[in-house]
Amino acid sequence: MTPSLQPRDLATINLFKRRTVLIWMILALSMIGLIVRLVYLQVITSPDLLDKARRQQMFTLRPFIPRRTITDRKGAVLALDRPVYTLFAHPHLYKEKPEVIAEKLAPILRRPADKLLSILTRDTTSTQVEYWLSEENADRIFNLRLDGLDLIQQRHRLYPQQDLAAELLGYVNVDHRGQAGIELSQEKLLERTDQAPSVAQDGNGKLIPNRIPAGMLQSDRTSLQMTIDSRIQRTARQILKQQMVKFGAKRGSVIVMDARDGGLLSLVTEPTYDPNRYYESDVKLFKNWAVSDLYEPGSTFKPLNVAIALEAGAIQPDTVFNDEGALTIGGWPVANFDYEQVGAVGPLSISQILERSSNVGMVHIIQRMKPSVYYGWLERIGLGDMSGIDLPAETSSTLKPQEQFIEYVIEPATASFGQGFSLTPIQMVQLQGILASGGKLLTPHVVKGLINDEGEEYFQPKLPTPRQVISSATAQRVVEMMTNVVEKGTGLPARIPGYRIAGKTGTAQKASTTGGGYINAKITSFVGIFPSKEPRYVVLAVIDEPVGADAFGSTVAAPIVKAVIEDIIVSEGIPPSHPEEVISKIPILPEPTATPSPSTQDVKPSPTASPSAVPTPPRDRT
């Protein structure tokens, strides 16, 4: 018989039961909580946690991704990126005395230890010690294992040829963005498409070999190739500098274009700058004036006018005109450059008009066409447009409004010898290319395309299809006439024995920048097409404001073109077309140095002409 429980015992048993139930309830609630938490982690927040884990495991590499290298057409490097480093010091992290650190850095940085010490002991948390350190010196500093020093990698654009092609290349600023030349116009082509790869790492930070992404070791190794030939570019610059110094010229430009496709082998402007140290140069030099500045071409435009007249049927190759030496057009006097010495010349063929650079003869040729027809042809060859070159800041050429051109007879007359309208040197080369290419209007360009490490073409910009503006027969006839200009006319200083060059001189008054006439300064030029048979090159030299009584297109510009063509002959190994000729020094016969007729200066317009609408007719000496 079980003894009866005492009240105290019953209370104890009840307390135990309550505690047991409470414990089981706590355990049950805990289990439920764990299950809820597990569901929350595995179901609800699983995607976020997975992404977070991957971010912790993945490490993004930050390799040196350079801007594309720029080369000339033969592979010579013109611009490239190289890694450079900036050295920073953090004084609060030094574990050695600043004096010791300065002594160790001095031979690497090639700076006195006392000057480095003054930098290392500045009262600041961080200070810049040196910038643009080479990889070699950066490695030497890194191997010192000095606490408190930090090397930051950056990109630096290097132009190993210095000022050789500055007007073409341009430069990049501190943010590594192009600011001029193809560095600006071809920004998208020069920036690489490489992406910073991400790799997996374990808990110790080591890369997991089987988690390295495919193609990680592959990179964009293409470079931007230009049509420029460094050798021709160097020759053109050297001879241009010489002539500018000799004649005290303000500025000059030399352009060489391939008559087959419009590719430029050279484009030189002087004065220029070193793109490695662009910050020390006058900002005016950053503008490529051969592309952006206008000038009146003068007599170098005469062959194009002859081509227009022939193509329009206004003249024939054997047409003869009487050159009176001077005449009056709409109340305005127009005279040849040598009128005071020679007077009336008499009958001249079309070829002789170009040989003598007769202004009067050109006026007679253009008078054979209606002004509206002539104006239409000027528009057809491209006047009033841009050349379309792949360089920035090109300026379109200018042509008088058609109404003014037709109303005032002096306008077609002055245009006949290349004045009264303006164009850029690059467009002048393009227009002369019409004659050299068999009548086609080519697009001048300096970018050939992207090439890979093996020199294979990877990408080529699409150029406009060349437009046929005159017949190849007409172009050939005019080139033959221009050959006579060099063989026995004003272009004789450009003659090279054994070779045939077509050319034309030009010496024109400069138009006033404020409008309303011409100033007492001139711009000389010479254009050469080589060789005369099956032309391959168009070479233009333009020299602005040469000084001296003997400063003409034949004496200033023609020798430049001759020197450039001679260099092309040597570099390309072009054999003579007339080997039977004796190679001897040919005397240079300068153009007449007489002052133009006073009748071409300070003339008054006829009562029917508007002084504000029609400027004083210019003088053209060649």
Question: Annotated active-site positions, please?
Answer: 299
Closest CA to 443 of 463, 423, 425: 463
DSSP secondary structure string for all residues of 234-276? HHHHHHHHHHHHHHT-SEEEEEEEETTT-BEEEEEEES---GG
**Residue pair 508/349 in contact by the 8 Å Cβ criterion:** no
Q: Which residue has the tokens 């040729």?
A: 365
Query: How far lies 311's CA from each of 175, 322, 618, in Å?
Result: 53, 22, 27
**Residue pair 224/69 in contact by the 8 Å Cβ criterion:** yes
**Residue pair 373/308 in contact by the 8 Å Cβ criterion:** no
Contacts of 153 (CB under 8 A, 6+ apart): 64, 83, 84, 85
**Residue pair 291/181 in contact by the 8 Å Cβ criterion:** no
What is the C-alpha to C-alpha distance for residues 38 and 589, in angstroms, rounded to an integer?
A: 101
Spell out where 271-376 has E strands: 320-323, 326-329, 332-335, 346-349
- In angstroms, the first-to-last Cα distance of the chain is 149
**Residue pair 415/304 in contact by the 8 Å Cβ criterion:** no
For residue 271, say if its preceding peptide bond is cis, omega within 30 degrees of 0: yes
Query: How far lies 289's CA from each of 272, 383, 526, in Å?
Result: 11, 18, 17
Query: What does the CA dihedral 106, 107, 108, 113 come to, rounded to 10 degrees?
Result: 0
What does DSSP say about strands 149-158 and 77-89: parallel, antiparallel, or unpaired? antiparallel
What is the C-alpha to C-alpha distance for residues 298 and 337, in angstroms, rounded to an integer?
A: 12
What is the C-alpha to C-alpha distance for residues 329 and 40, in angstroms, rounded to an integer?
A: 98
**Residue pair 294/572 in contact by the 8 Å Cβ criterion:** no
What is the C-alpha to C-alpha distance for residues 407 and 419, in angstroms, rounded to an integer?
A: 17
**Residue pair 613/291 in contact by the 8 Å Cβ criterion:** no
For residue 531, say if its preceding peptide bond is cis, omega within 30 degrees of 0: yes
Structure tokens at 51: 């992404």
Count of C-beta atoms within a 10 Å radius of residue 259: 23
